[in-house]
Structure 1
Amino acid sequence: MSNPLLNLPLLPPFDRLQPEQVEPAIAESIEHCRQQLAAGLADPGWDSTLAPLEQAQDQLNRAFSPISHLNSVLSGPWRAPYEAALAQVTAYWTELGQNRDLYGVYQQLAQSPEFAAWPQPRRKAVELGLRDFDLSGVGLEGEARDAFAANSRRLAELSSQFANNVLDATNAWTWHTENETELVGLPQTALAAAKAAAEAKDLTGWLITLDGPSYLAVMTHADNRALRQQVHTAFISRASETGPNAGEFDNSAVMEEILTLRAEQARLLGMANYAELSLASKMAQDNARVLEFLNDLAARAKPAAEREFAELQDFARGKLGLDELRSWDIAWAAEKLKQERYAISQEELRPYFPYEKVLAGLFTVVEKLFDVSVQRDDTVPTWHRDVQYFWLYRNGERIAGFYLDPFAREKKRGGAWMDTVCVRRQTPEGLQLPVAYLVCNFSPPAAGDAPSLLTHYEVTTLFHEFGHGLHHMLTQIDVAAVSGINGVAWDAVELPSQFLENWCWEPEVIAMISAHYQSGEALPRELLDKMLAAKNFQSAMFTVRQLEFALFDFRLHCCEQGASAAEIQQLLDEVRGQVAVVPIADENRFQHGFNHIFAGGYAAGYYSYKWAEVLSADAFSLFEEQGIFDRATGNKFLHGILEQGGSRDALELFTEFRGREPNIDALLRHSGIEQLELNINPG
């Protein structure tokens, strides 16, 4: 029987994929790439070398994509095949990045007389290719060359190991009770989910897990302080040497080795540290600019955050009987204060945001903004019964597609993300449409006929990930290297996602995405007004928390020699001393679960979230001026940002869209701290 991972159609046949198919398919795909490269080098040129190689590598990427995806959303039997495939793929890309003959082809093309007349996407693909060759060690010799390749392979293994440890630690801890009085304060949605979790384990009563919806429900609503402490301690100590599973999934040594190897990669390339290497492919010019941006914002946001926390402490003492706020009290006390001040809570809003209504409203927003329609296709095979598949259309023509996996479940990686099934590109058979995975971890539907009900926070998460998806799916670029999010500077890649979040707060849009799941009643004006009034509740505390992560990440990667686990902790403590305003538990090992920088693409780049927030708020301000559904402005963003992919520099595209370089005014206004004046441009 033929291997379904080879000669794939546009959409992977998830109903026919098996773990044992992985290694032979990846091996054959890589061998095909090598053969194509050898043939192309014999006749250098775009059409004779780069285009056929792009075709072969697209087949490899499309074979590896469902393997990587299934490891993230199902884990279990897919972990070992994924890790074996990852080793093969990493070795290939490392080998390719150090291929001097191919590098010579890129150089020859860039220096050719006709290069200036080439289409912009092709020119940009060659320019980025040359940069990436330099960053892959193509110029290294002998032992340095071998060390760089070995480090690259090992770093891929370690990143996977880090993520596995976090997932395993998350799944390893549960808390079971048959006494409902221990769960006082939890909303009915959380209780129903806990009961379903217990039943899934053949238990009676209720089961609390460390999955996002369960953890957040306890920390925000459980009146049982001892339970909050227990759940919080388990969560913040995951994959570390402390906590209830101390040492079992410990990421300490993994972090140390990752940082050592990253620092060595930078040294081998003649750079001072990994942060410098990371910025070589970002908008920011140098380390000093990034640190100035983060430190300036922290210095101005912290006084407001301190005031917010002092208010919370006063409230806790006066109204909640807590003389001292501990880390496991913060979210719970904040929710109580929010309810007293605004008489609103996420749980009160949840019945008005049934998942299907929110999804339909999101599609309406996108249709009005960018003239595309979304249609569900139940004939497409998926990997789980909860997964839905959709096509995007414009003027009746199919232009893209996406899978949506919305709900939390066991053995599924936490968080939310967008990933690519395949990119838009021109193939010998015609245009290949872009297809995306959109993954969230929302509370699943309760037992019976009740739908999944989202908090407004989850609503914004859905809009955020769909913004990433639009960046991938609405591109008009046909060259894979700069199609969709490919080639986009990492500190600009969050622009479309954070940009789309803004519509979640517009009354006109809230009317589209909300309706009581039982009565169909619109969100009452009173609740809407309260929700909007509470939008910036503790926004400064949230800002300094994000800056804590960003500063820790960037300063960590400014180290020239890597760092030990103790030094990592010491640096995090220093950063917290600079920016944090809330108490930190002794068992807190946030760094051991920081997937973004140790298992994702955000190493020395977590600052991108704050920088992209500046861009997104400033971009949205044009819609505020012209109308949130102004078609001309929507077309301007579509044609000027989303369709361009990585074919042009991000700052150049933004400046053309906005008519000037970005400034922070809109972000400060949206955050309720518009009196701050910052020098924010990290470029």
Structure 2
Amino acid sequence: MSMDQGNPLFQTEQLPPFSRIRPEHVEPAIDTLLAENRATLATLLGGERAYSWENLIEPLEAMNDRLAKAWSPVSHLNAVMNNEELRAAYNACLPKLSDYGTELGQNRHLFEAYRQIRDSAQWAGLSDAQQASIEHALRDFRLAGVDLPEADKERYRAISQRLSELSSKYQENLLDATNAWHKHIEDAEALAGVPDSALGVMRQEAERRELPGYVITLDFPSFFPVMSYADSRALRREVYEAFSTRASDTGPQGGQYDNLPLMEEILALRHEKAQLLGFANYAELSLAPKMAEGTAQVMGFLQDLAERSHPRALEDFAELRRFAREVEGLTEELQAWDLSYYAEKLRQSRYRISQEDLRPYFPADRVVNGMFEVVRRLYGIRIQPREDADTWHPDVRFYEIHDEQGAPRGQFYLDLYARAHKRGGAWMDECRVRFVNERLQQLPVAYLTCNFTPPVGEQPALLTHDEVTTLFHEFGHGLHHMLTRIDYPSVAGINGVPWDAVELPSQFMENWCWEREALDLISGHYETGEKLPEALFEKMQAARNFQSAMQMVRQLEFSLFDFRLHLEYDPARGARIYELLDEVRDQVAVMKPPAFNRFPNSFGHIFAGGYAAGYYSYKWAEVLSADAYSRFEEEGIFNRETGRDFLRQVLEQGGSKPAMDLFVAFRGRKPSIDALLRHSGLAA
């Protein structure tokens, strides 16, 4: 071993020593591991021999797992504690990792070795998970261009490398544009209507910058309350414009971090890559490993949902305009920066409830511990904090999961609050993947990251019900990763799961946030401990599907835009990004945003995440999750048998079997859209 033991990225058997990782450690560690992996691969493939799971695939999984364990904390820190030195180290490694991945995927000798195992007598003796791992690998070799002539392989490699650089730059531009804007306000009058919880966040931000008064930023806990509650229409417009023009040619930072040239190049390269591999467009390539059977099926699915929800969404919108004009006295035309504000007013007028009324009942610690109790009742697992883990920030907590017999199942980091230099949004990512063989017992470890309203002063962090739902969603992903019983990294947890099925366990968990029995576990007034009162619960339920058709068409707008962008790309005409978005909005939107809006420039899911030509997955998986949950509605939301079935048939299976087979094993039939329409208030 040529390992430099002084470099903390090599300490791969225990948890990452975050406090000791330095930007200067990153590139040397990755260089060393890549060199060692290449040498190992040459040894594994050297000489004529009969290949087997034990002499080829297991050692391959081991070497790639070691690389993943070194890279994972670097990639994570780049997202949650971003700084210039780390960013430079991260970016220096991206082309090297991209080349390495392409090299493996295009290695003809390795491909033939996998094929030899599949065609040999030993195949029948392999488990479902082992067979799935090999089948997926053979598919992925083809998708990496293993069959291409040499010149095309070279081009493929160059495209892959460039795409990884462009995605990283897109994300950096978005982070920098978000951090670059703030508004300083000294006079509290200018913030009339904004709730105390948000004012506290803004005051704390001002103190951090050593300014008097309040500071508004584009982080969600600051941006969202302004859009929903600020009485000043001019302020709402100013903040809306700053947010909706991030990383674009217009708005307050116009041209400084513009993502448009990156998007154009990303779409052109994706299209070229797809065509190199024999697909008509990138949407077709994207579906190759997914559940959906073809581009026509996806478009048909989205169009069907649009036809069902658009008429209702238009009614919702007409009602909102009427309310703003007749009740609230708005004399001008309703604009994009008015939507959340008047929607919140209408919700309060009709249901006498706002997100702020619920916040005192959801202190973060209470919600987290209640969530652990929900999954204990469902799956018999116990979750305990551990104080000795090394983390990247004082807010981060670390937990361990044990099953009923006391055996360890997984571990996770929980990083709940928004802060500067942390990527926006909420996500789950892998720190370690389950890997078990005769020499190794590696537990899965997850990162669960959110951007919630932080604690202010002495008061604990109080979450909105939307934030509670987001936490349950990410925890659902985490459970899928951590509760797997599959021992091989390539198909353990979320690995090998089709992208359009991967949202099933996350969306599924959200349902408990609406059930009285579960809310009694996760709510408790931060001062009195009182459970969520029945009157508030009833109002919350009544308001559950408030404007759900408008929310549905908004998601369909994103999904159709993403899919058509990749399906209809024409090199002769370029990406036509805003033109296509306008066409989609003509079809499904209830209100056209202003001309300066540059939504695509911050649509990180598809330009810097894994959702390219796959954003439809959210709606696709929602059909699965709503239908899976309907079994709990029939049999009891804490029915242990039903919970155990979901654990065994879905959560534990990883990517070892086709997603539809797992769904049918749990539900007893193929999925039906009825439960989704009922949950969304759109059933006929």
- TM superposition score category, shorter chain reference: over 0.9
Deviations 1:243-278 (A, max 9, x none): 110000000100000000000000100110000000
- 3-state SS in 1 of match to 2:339: helix
Distance 2:618 2:298 in 1: 12
- 3-state SS in 2 of match to 1:33: helix
- 3-state SS in 2 of match to 1:445: coil
8 A Cα contact 1:259 1:563, kept in partner: no
Matched residue count: 674
Partner of 2:517: 508
Partner of 1:396: 406
Identify which range, 518-527 or 608-617, moves more after superposition: 518-527
Deviations 1:214-234 (A, max 9, x none): 110100111111000000000
One-letter amino acid matched to 1:359: V
* Residue of 20, 23, 48 corresponding to 1:19: 23
Partner of 1:554: 563
Partner of 1:67: 74
Distance 1:272 1:310 in 2: 41
Deviation at 1:589, TM superposition (A): 0.6
Deviation at 1:560, TM superposition (A): 4.0
Deviations 1:83-118 (A, max 9, x none): 112222111101111100100111101111221221
Say whether residues 1:117 and 2:125 are aligned partners: yes
Say whether residues 1:276 and 2:275 are aligned partners: no
8 A Cα contact 2:308 2:682, kept in partner: no
Partner of 2:607: 598
One-letter amino acid matched to 2:79: S
One-letter amino acid matched to 1:570: E
8 A Cα contact 1:614 1:663, kept in partner: yes
Distance 2:669 2:437 in 1: 37
Distance 2:279 2:136 in 1: 19
Say whether residues 1:38 and 2:63 are aligned partners: no
Distance 1:582 1:519 in 2: 43
* Residue of 239, 252, 255 corresponding to 1:247: 255
Percent identical across equivalent pairs? Answer: 55
Which residues in structure 2 correspond to 1:219-618 (within 5 Å)?
Answer: 219-323=227-331, 324-394=333-403, 395-447=405-457, 449-561=458-570, 567-618=576-627
8 A Cα contact 2:19 2:391, kept in partner: yes
One-letter amino acid matched to 1:100: R
- 3-state SS in 1 of match to 2:197: helix
8 A Cα contact 2:248 2:259, kept in partner: yes
- 3-state SS in 2 of match to 1:368: helix
Identify which range, 312-321 or 406-415, moves more after superposition: 312-321
Deviation at 1:429, TM superposition (A): 3.0
Distance 1:426 1:519 in 2: 47
Distance 1:89 1:271 in 2: 25
Partner of 1:2: 6
- 3-state SS in 2 of match to 1:256: helix
> 1:6–1:220: structure 2 CA closer, same or farther, 3 Å change rule?
same
8 A Cα contact 2:646 2:666, kept in partner: yes
Distance 2:564 2:208 in 1: 43
> 1:565–1:200: structure 2 CA closer, same or farther, 3 Å change rule?
farther
Deviation at 1:450, TM superposition (A): 0.4
Identify which range, 82-91 or 352-361, moves more after superposition: 82-91
One-letter amino acid matched to 2:408: R
Distance 2:551 2:669 in 1: 29
Deviation at 1:566, TM superposition (A): 7.2
Deviations 1:530-587 (A, max 9, x none): 0111000000000000000000000000134358787110000000000000231111
One-letter amino acid matched to 2:564: R
Distance 1:562 1:283 in 2: 28
Partner of 1:645: 654
One-letter amino acid matched to 1:154: R
Distance 1:14 1:37 in 2: 30
8 A Cα contact 2:283 2:295, kept in partner: yes
One-letter amino acid matched to 2:653: Q
Partner of 2:56: 49
Distance 1:613 1:551 in 2: 16
Distance 2:614 2:346 in 1: 34
Partner of 2:99: 91
- 3-state SS in 2 of match to 1:587: coil
Deviations 1:126-145 (A, max 9, x none): 00000000000111112211
Distance 2:520 2:323 in 1: 34
Distance 2:95 2:377 in 1: 44
> 1:565–1:202: structure 2 CA closer, same or farther, 3 Å change rule?
farther
> 1:272–1:162: structure 2 CA closer, same or farther, 3 Å change rule?
same
Which residues in structure 2 correspond to 1:612-627 (within 5 Å)?
Answer: 612-627=621-636
Deviations 1:600-636 (A, max 9, x none): 0000000000011000000000000000000100010
Distance 1:302 1:191 in 2: 36
8 A Cα contact 2:585 2:592, kept in partner: no
> 1:173–1:565: structure 2 CA closer, same or farther, 3 Å change rule?
farther
One-letter amino acid matched to 1:298: A
One-letter amino acid matched to 1:185: G
Distance 2:274 2:563 in 1: 14
Distance 1:565 1:109 in 2: 44
Say whether residues 1:211 and 2:215 are aligned partners: no
- 3-state SS in 1 of match to 2:670: coil
Distance 2:222 2:32 in 1: 43
Which residues in structure 2 correspond to 1:71-220 (within 5 Å)?
Answer: 71-76=78-83, 77-220=85-228
TM-score of the pair, normalised by structure 1: 0.98
Deviations 1:501-523 (A, max 9, x none): 00000001111111110111121
Q: Runs of at least 4 residues of structure 1 off by over 3 A?
A: 560-566
8 A Cα contact 1:255 1:565, kept in partner: no
Deviation at 1:10, TM superposition (A): 2.8
Where do 5+ consecutive residues of structure 2 fail to align?
none
> 1:249–1:564: structure 2 CA closer, same or farther, 3 Å change rule?
farther
Where do 5+ consecutive residues of structure 1 fail to align?
676-683
